[in-house]
Amino acid sequence: MPMRLVFSRALGALAAAAALAADLGAQRGPTIAAASNLNFALPEIAQQFEKDRGERVELVFGASGALTRQIRDGAPFEMFLAADEEFPDLLSAAGLTRYPGVVYAVGRLVVFAPKGSPLTVDERLDGLARLVKSGRARRFAIANPEVAPYGRAAEAVLRKRGLWEPLRGNLVFGDNISQAAQFATTGNAAGGIIAYSSVLSPQFGNRGTYALLPDADYPPLRQKMVLMKQAGIITEHFYQYLQQPAARAVLRKHGFAVPE
């Protein structure tokens, strides 16, 4: 076989492989990074977005701090929905975002006790205080305050109620708020402070009891989203879609407040 024909076929195979890869990428859609407390609400919004617009996005969930580090290290995310304002603002200050971003939701916290736990839940954490005093607190779960905004908010609640130091040795830290919710439901945990959106999810089921914590007990969990500089047109459409009534209705259903 002539060398020129072999080379031509090789180039053709490479071109076909590149076209297939591009086609598969288009089918998958751009990748969106999101705080783990959105792992129930956001897929529902993305599904509705695909139905309404015929455009698809891929979702990756994690702790806001960890996702921020990945973006700084070059992760190919086109959009970032954080659990606070601080992490998106850091990315904007670093020149990595197209716009300063917008607050798309405000999160809320609950104190949760799994079935069989000796913890009685209430908004002032009086039941938790009694449990700590009795020495029966066992393990108590929150998200890691170093990387998760919901963890910082939980720490603020415990400090306000004078329970941070007494509980410190019994605290179990989840890498993100979803993992903290998993820890809080285990049989050897007294409970935890977790996201309202977690306990409202169908997957969470009737695993225990909870009480909403007063918003005044922790810094507002104002959740901001930002477009990265490399964002394409589909991601821009999704960014706008999240600010529209259909998406906001889903967020409300999952326990979030939304800005007017």
Please check whether residues 194 and 100 belong to one and the same domain: no
Please check whether residues 99 and 134 belong to one and the same domain: no
Q: Whole-model pTM?
A: 0.81
Please check whether residues 126 and 162 belong to one and the same domain: yes
* For residues 223-237, average pLDDT: 97
Lowest mean pLDDT among 18-27, 114-123, 197-206: 18-27
pLDDT of residue 1 exceeding 70, the answer is: no
Contact of 128 with 163, CB cutoff 8 Å: yes
Please check whether residues 102 and 226 belong to one and the same domain: yes
Percent of the chain past pLDDT 70, that is, above it, reads 89
Q: What's the rounded Cα separation, in Å, for the pair 25 and 19?
A: 10
pLDDT of residue 10 exceeding 70, the answer is: no
User: Does any domain span residue 258?
Assistant: no
Q: What is the CA radius of gyration of the chain?
A: 22
User: Does any domain span residue 42?
Assistant: yes
Lowest mean pLDDT among 34-43, 53-62, 84-93, 202-211: 202-211
User: Does any domain span residue 129?
Assistant: yes
User: Does any domain span residue 125?
Assistant: yes
Residues paired with residue 227 on neighbouring β-strands, in sequence order: 79
User: Does any domain span residue 45?
Assistant: yes
Under the banding of pLDDT at 50, 70 and 90, the label for residue 135 is confident
Please check whether residues 16 and 84 belong to one and the same domain: yes
**Residue 66 Cα distances to 27, 61, 225, angstroms:** 27, 10, 15
Q: How many folded domains does the chain comprise? A: 2
Contact of 189 with 150, CB cutoff 8 Å: no
Please check whether residues 163 and 208 belong to one and the same domain: yes
Please check whether residues 87 and 22 belong to one and the same domain: yes
* For residues 53-58, average pLDDT: 97
Counting every residue written for the chain, the total comes to 260
Please check whether residues 174 and 246 belong to one and the same domain: no
Q: What's the rounded Cα separation, in Å, for the pair 98 and 122?
A: 43
Strands 189-195 and 139-143: parallel
- Which amino acid would we find at residue 88? P
Please check whether residues 169 and 122 belong to one and the same domain: yes
Name the residue with tokens 């104002």: 222
Please check whether residues 138 and 11 belong to one and the same domain: no
pLDDT of residue 51 exceeding 90, the answer is: yes
Percent of the chain past pLDDT 90, that is, above it, reads 78
Q: Which domain holds residue 163?
A: 109-212
pLDDT at 23: 44
Residue 31's region, left for phi above 0, alpha for psi from -120 to 50, else beta, is beta
pLDDT at 27: 64
**Residue 112 Cα distances to 2, 32, 119, 209, 233, angstroms:** 73, 30, 9, 6, 41
Q: In CATH, what number is assigned to the domain containing residue 128?
A: 3.40.190.10
Please check whether residues 200 and 189 belong to one and the same domain: yes
User: Does any domain span residue 259?
Assistant: no
pLDDT of residue 71 exceeding 70, the answer is: yes
* For residues 56-60, average pLDDT: 98
User: Does any domain span residue 167?
Assistant: yes
224's enclosing H/E stretch is: strand 221-227
User: Does any domain span residue 260?
Assistant: no
Please check whether residues 177 and 239 belong to one and the same domain: no
